[in-house]
Amino acid sequence: MEYWTISGASGGDAIGATYGASALPTTCLIAPDHNIVEQDIWPISTVGDITSILNGYGLAETPCTDPLIADFSGAPLVIPVGSTVDFTDLSTGGATSWNWDFPGGSPATSTLQNPTITYNTAGTYDVTLEVSNASLTDTETKTAYIEVQPPIGPPPVADFVGTPTLIPVGSSVDFTDLSTNSPTIWKWTFEGADVTTSNLQNPSDIVYSTAGLYEVKLKVTNTGGSDSLTKVDYIEVYPDTSSIAPKVHFTGAPRLITAGETVDFTDESDFFPVSWSWNFEGGTPTTSNDQNPTGISYSTPGLYNVTLTASNGSGSGSLTKVDYIVVSDYPMDQLCDTITNMLPGENMTFQQLSSTWGYLPGHNGKLVTAYAERFEDWTVSEISSFIFPVAKSYSAGGKVKFIIWNGDLEPDSMLGSKQVNVSTLTSGLFNVVHFDSNIEVDGIFFAGFEISYAAGDTFAIYMAPDRGPSGDNTLYCRKSGTWYTATDLFNIHTSSGLTPVGCLVGIQTFEFENSNVIIFPNPSDGQFNIDLSSVDLNNFSLQVYDISGRMVTDKYNVRTEGLYTVDLGGSNEGVYILKMRINNIPVTRMVSLVK
């Protein structure tokens, strides 16, 4: 804005005007100190009009700029020792530089427009701001503005919950402070949200517009001190799935049964199918349109496929699990066999690479650090051991880690492993490695080994010969952290000679007594405790499903030995199913979430 000051022979106040496109520009009465003391509208349509009027009064005109006035605010103004104050510049008149002075603060000065200052000593402190532009300077001092109190009482313990924690893009989350010891100051940080900070106790409608996993941090303060809590990957924002057809997954249990027994099936498909079409080869009934059909009976011994087609408004997806249900004519605890990708009649070999040093599959000049064989086998549910033919084995003390990974197109997360010394493996023979406990698999999995390049180590196993450009390849190689097919890295179509021993486990004869698995409180408003202190516990895993069969979480915390907690505070009210494996034995319980 530009003002026009008009000075007469007698001095004193003057009249000024601003011009714009309006036919009635605003006029202001401006005192000699440049403060506006009156504002009105004159019926003036052009610059020439005001010039004519001024000439009529015998006055001269001089342009001047806005007055520069320093001002600021701080928040909060009363804090405990060690806390921070956020200062905000409120100056008017076009300041271009800022010089702050904070007695008792850290730092004690700043040239930022909006600094954040920490106070580490109790007391009452002034704050001064000097602002400047090309022609003017102004200063504002606020006396005894910040009060820093000594610690009084216990500091707070930060805690919070968000509802919901799983949302589609564009949706919002409400956060509730659960901190103890009466905090008086709250500072929230929302990674990935449209609004990334808040000082409210219970901020609501925090919108997330980008898919991803995001952490949330809360810092709380009272007169006794402060505490912070960060929940990593707490908010999961999934993309708009309205245009994505379902990706089909399902499970059945039990899978090894005696003729006449039944199997229950659970849909675990992604992208929200709305209709389901099941086909149960050998089962009664043979088809179902339920999402989670139960009581499917099998009366004739055999191995049977199961197919699920799931659909939504954007299309359909289908999955067939071959030989998924095994029906015997007498009770069996388990059915075990070896599985291999070697084709009948293929002779095992290994390659001594010509383009670099070393062997395939094993140590070589391409510095491949892991090899994995892809198995698509729906019959086995657990892997107990590996059988593998060793081609080369020399070591100065190195180790080999044998691994089971899950995954679809390439190895993903590790399901289990066993590390052995290279020196214990014998060249020219089949060697066996037993896992400490059976490793659960379901359908596609990867089996292989990981090597390090310690000086003096050489390890390689046998594989199938090159099958040519039209042959199948099931061998994958990891180089520099990235997985490649053997075809991409070595221009070969092959399979490794590694043979997992797989088992299909039937119904366990041992069942836990109700008194051995204690879940409390139930119902609960969010947190459930699982007490297994009376169980001789070797291993434990947990998956929580909602009543529709969709997995909600597989995360839990260990409070003390034998006591686990699962937090459903971010989920909606309702009944949830806790599917646990305790010492590899499935145990299912239902809990109620009430808010």
Model pLDDT for residues 216-250, shown as the tens digit of each residue: 999 998 888 888 898 988 998 877 666 778 889 89
Top pLDDT among 594 and 419 is at 419
Angstrom distance (rounded) from CA 503 to CA 454: 35
pLDDT tens figures, 394-404? 877 788 999 99
Longest CA pairwise span in the chain (Å): 120
Q: Mean pLDDT in the chain?
A: 82
pTM over 0.75? The answer is no
- Residue 244 CA to residue 302 CA, distance in Å, equals 36
Query: In this structure, how many other beta carbons lie within 10 angstroms of the beta carbon of residue 528?
Result: 23
Cα separation, 120 vs 110, whole angstroms: 17
Residues 325 and 302: their CA atoms lie apart, in Å, by: 8
The mean per-residue pLDDT over the stretch 95-99 comes to 96
First to last CA, the chain: 56
Residue for token digits 């349509």? 45
Predicted confidence (pLDDT) per residue in 247-289, tens digit: 898 988 888 888 889 999 999 888 778 899 999 999 999 999 9
Q: Which long-range contacts (CB under 8 A, 24 or more apart) does 158-161 make?
A: 158/183, 158/218, 158/219, 158/220, 158/227, 158/228, 158/229, 159/218, 159/229, 160/216, 160/218, 160/229, 160/231, 161/526, 161/567, 161/569, 161/570
Q: Which two tokens stand for residue 311?
A: 């659909």
Q: Does residue 28 surpass a pLDDT of 50?
A: no
- Report the run of H or E that residue 548 belongs to, with start and end: none
Cα separations in angstroms, 74 against 71, 97, 214, 221, 433: 11, 18, 30, 17, 66
Phi and psi torsions of 252, nearest 5°:
-135, 150
**Which band of pLDDT confidence, cut at 50, 70 and 90, is reported for residue 563?**
confident
Report the pLDDT averaged over residues 521-527. Answer: 80
Please answer whether residues 287 and 278 qualify as being in contact, where contact means their C-beta atoms are separated by less than 8 angstroms. Answer: yes
Q: How confident is the model at residue 58 (pLDDT cuts 50, 70, 90)?
A: very low
